Amino acid sequence: MSDNDNNRDRSEECSGPHSLICYEPAREIIDSSKLTDYQTCPRKFFFAHILGWRPSGSNIHLTFGTAWHKAKEHLRWALHLEGNYSPLALQGAFKHFMAAYSVGYPEPRSWNDNATKSPISAYRGLVQYVAKYKRDKFKVVFTEVAGTVPINNDGDHIWFKIDSLVEEKDKGYVIYDDKTSSSDYALQEKFGMSFQFGTYIHAIKCYLGLSERMGHLAGVVADVVTFRTAPYNKLLKSGKYSSVVNGKGHTFNRIPIIKNSAQINRWGNEANSVVQDMKRDKLALLEEDPSDLNMRAYQCRTTSCSDYGGCPYYNLCWQAKNPMKMVEELGTTAPVGFERSFWNPEEDARDSRTWMEL
Ligand code: SF4
């Protein structure tokens, strides 16, 4: 039976509002960000990844983060080939930044609206980065590697995309992951327990175990840059200028994360537990009735509503309407302020330079 036949047969099992939530291939593909979204709030996961309702317009954090990663990737290869971060490498990095940034923000007039996440802020960050880390010495093994890795013996896989794997003298292999932030608060706690980094360590350990490469994985480095507005001189009431600093300017932190086998084991248990919960919710969804007052599947986790400046789905939850009723009313469209699109880690992986199936 072909895939199309399969899909047709399965789609016939769905009717009414359920037909809108049954078949989207992207829903079946799991990566760390989806698992983390589910852990944050199952209802948020439902809106974002089952219904595909995403806030309309460009996302400055995503655009800036992607562009920053492209710039850093260029710098790493320059270091690998030339042995240092040369002025030419810096210019090349900024060119890569702009190529990616312009995709989300093609209109230069809008750039200054993004304050700390503008091209000028990125350029300042690159200049400071190469000055701060001028003593870096490593060899790049690969950048942008994507793939899948099993998390159990039942056929469940998780997708990953790693920014860089490098080899450092006296350390071994190190995964570098580029992060942009707006605060230095609790970075060690935030990244030390990060689910994403557990996935990376598991994937690279599998890769090193299966490949002919010698050496060991030292861990992950979260290469974090906190972007802030530049320090500036402020005119005081007295008429004098004060070198008042609006924030501290950009700051740079490299957070090393090393996980032993017990910690990786705990990560595996967590991954499996979340995947089982997701499967239970998916089945429970088929039993939902739009005419019910509430939806039981994908429960709200209201302790997460204020995370990251406020959940984009807050107004939908606040109405206390059964989301299946909204699905019934809206069909394949999304509510005002949202558009329908699905995050598909497999499509993203196709753009990667290296592919691993572990
Ligand atoms: S508003 Fe709160 S309960 Fe609703 S989806 Fe967001 S985090 Fe979950």
Question: What is the residue with the minimal CA distance to atom 2 of ligand 1?
Answer: 305
43 lines ligand 1 (CB under 6 A): yes
Q: Which atom number of ligand 1 is nearest to the Cα of residue 317?
A: 4
Q: Does residue 291 or residue 244 have the better pLDDT?
A: 291
Pocket test for ligand 1, best of 36, 295, 311 (most atoms within 8 A of CB): 311
Q: Does residue 357 or residue 74 have the better pLDDT?
A: 74
Please report the pLDDT score of residue 321 as a whole number.
87
41 lines ligand 1 (CB under 6 A): yes
Please report the pLDDT score of residue 10 as a whole number.
45
Span 130-177, pLDDT tens digits:
999 999 999 999 999 999 999 999 999 999 999 999 999 888 999 999
Pocket test for ligand 1, best of 40, 294, 299, 300 (most atoms within 8 A of CB): 300
Does 232 have pLDDT greater than 70?
Answer: no
Please report the pLDDT score of residue 15 as a whole number.
53
Pocket test for ligand 1, best of 301, 306, 318 (most atoms within 8 A of CB): 301
Mean pLDDT of the chain: 87
Model confidence at 231, in pLDDT bands (50, 70, 90)?
low
Model confidence at 12, in pLDDT bands (50, 70, 90)?
very low
Does 100 have pLDDT greater than 70?
Answer: yes
For range 88-110, the mean pLDDT = 94
Q: Which atom number of ligand 1 is nearest to the Cα of residue 43?
A: 5
Does 358 have pLDDT greater than 90?
Answer: no
Distance from the alpha carbon of residue 32 to the mean position of ligand 1, in angstroms: 19
Question: What is the residue with the minimal CA distance to atom 7 of ligand 1?
Answer: 305
Distance from the alpha carbon of residue 212 to the mean position of ligand 1, in angstroms: 46
298 lines ligand 1 (CB under 6 A): no
Helix H, strand E, coil C: the string for the chain is CCHHHHHHHHHHCCCHHHHHHHCCHHHHCCEHHHHHHHHHCHHHHHHHHHCCEEECCCCHHHHHHHHHHHHHHHHHHHHHHHCCCCHHHHHHHHHHHHHHHHHHCCCHHHHHHHHHHCHHHHHHHHHHHHHHCCCCCCEEEEEEEEEEEECCCCCCEEEEEEEEEEEECCCEEEEEEEEEECCCCCHHHHHHCCHHHHHHHHHHHHHHHHCCCCCCEEEEEEEEEECCCCCCCEECCCCCEECCCCCCCCEEEEEEECCCHHHHHHHHHHHHHHHHHHHHHHHHHCCCCCCCCCCCCCCCCHHHCCHHHCCCCHHHHHCCCCHHHHHHHHCCCCCCCEEECCCCHHHHHHCCCEEEEC
Question: What is the residue with the minimal CA distance to atom 4 of ligand 1?
Answer: 317
For range 317-328, the mean pLDDT = 91
Least trusted range by pLDDT, from 83-97, 101-115, 269-283: 101-115
Span 19-61, pLDDT tens digits:
656 667 888 899 999 999 999 999 999 999 999 999 998 889 9
Q: So where are the chain's domains?
A: 28-55+272-348
Least trusted range by pLDDT, from 19-23, 112-116, 158-162, 251-255: 19-23
Distance from the alpha carbon of residue 337 to the mean position of ligand 1, in angstroms: 16
